[in-house]
Amino acid sequence: MRVLLTGSAGFIGSHIADALEASGHDVVPFDTAPSGASGHTAPSGASGHTAPGSVRLDVRDAEAVARALRGVDAVCHQAAMVGLGVDVYDLPAYASANVLGTSVLLAEMARADVRKLVLASSMVVYGEGTYECAVHGTVRPRPRAESALASGVFEPACPRCARLLRPGTIDESAPADPRNVYADTKLAQENLAASWARMTGGSVIALRYHNVYGPRMPRDTPYAGVAALFRSALLRGEAPKVFEDGLQRRDFVHVRDVARANVLALEHPSYAPFAAYNIASGRPRTIGDLAEALAAACDGPRPVVTGDYRLGDVRHIVAAPHRAAADLGFTADIDFEDGMAEFAAVAV
């Protein structure tokens, strides 16, 4: 299969390129990063390891996209501006890279009659995860109030009785509830892709990545993931600073597992116009667990729990990965301890 891979020079995209080539597919790389770029997030999601043959290309450039689509059988769309965002002034950049860029790509796919798309989505489309109230059962909490966070009350409260909630796992049937600009744009990508599929007869598999980590992860950028931020601190000889109380639950999944999920999705004979899948390990950990594991692997200082917080962060988001196992044959292979030891040992 000949696959156009956007974001091919990025952290996740470069691993997907490797996995596709190892599976015998022909990769057409497409990224904003020029050859040799590394380490910093570009507006359309380019960072890290540049795939062979990659030149500076932007998914917002319709002519460049049209040229790249010639002779292509499928598209794997990874290009995006990532991270929570620093402030409100990031809004135009996120909307341009993620929403406009995806719109241009989909329009050109329609013109080229390319009808198979694997889309990099994210757990952030859910907002908070699933919670149980002792009185009212399953509920979706409202965004956490700054007054509660400032007073050290981090657990979400029941929207009906204000009791603190017990977290559970979330599956793909949960309604979307994005709570920051990145999440807004990832959900917009899913909606645009679903509309494209209905209008063209195409098919979309959206992979909702949970907390991805591993080699080539960007460092020293405010848009990096928490694992990269902790590792960067340790490489400077500093203690990782853990927000809130460190008990926030996440699902950490290794980038090579994510790359394999993309290959399985591209090879899957999907007939539905749109399907979404959690790509996760199914084995939740806390942010404190992550910081402790990296500090131990780096032989660095113990983490410091600061009590600080960021508005827009969710408290707990843990995936139910069963649909991906049943439909795509995907389960994560790399366990947390081995993956973190490898991640800590890689300087960049």
Domain spanning 2-40+55-130+168-346: CATH superfamily:
NAD(P)-binding Rossmann-like Domain (3.40.50.720)
pLDDT of residue 348: 43
pTM here is 0.90
Question: In the numeric block, which tokens belong to residue 278?
Answer: 């959690």
DSSP lists the bridge partners of residue 3 as 27, 74
Reported as a single tens digit per residue, the pLDDT across 163-210 is 999 999 999 999 999 988 999 999 999 999 999 999 999 999 999 999
Contact 68, 8 (CB under 8 A): no
Helices (H), the chain: 11-22, 62-68, 91-94, 101-112, 146-150, 181-200, 226-235, 255-267, 287-297, 322-328, 336-345
Q: Spell out where 108-193 has E strands.
A: 116-122, 131-133, 137-139, 166-167
Burial of 237 (0-12, 13-18, 19+ CB in 10 A): exposed
Q: What is the DSSP letter of 6?
A: E
Cα angle at 125 between 246 and 322, to 5 degrees? 85
Question: In the numeric block, which tokens belong to residue 111?
Answer: 């013109």
Mean pLDDT by 10 residues, the chain (348 residues): 96 97 97 53 38 69 97 97 78 96 98 98 92 94 93 95 94 92 96 98 97 86 76 93 96 97 95 95 95 94 95 89 97 94 76
Classified as helix, coil or strand, 23 is coil
pLDDT of residue 50: 43
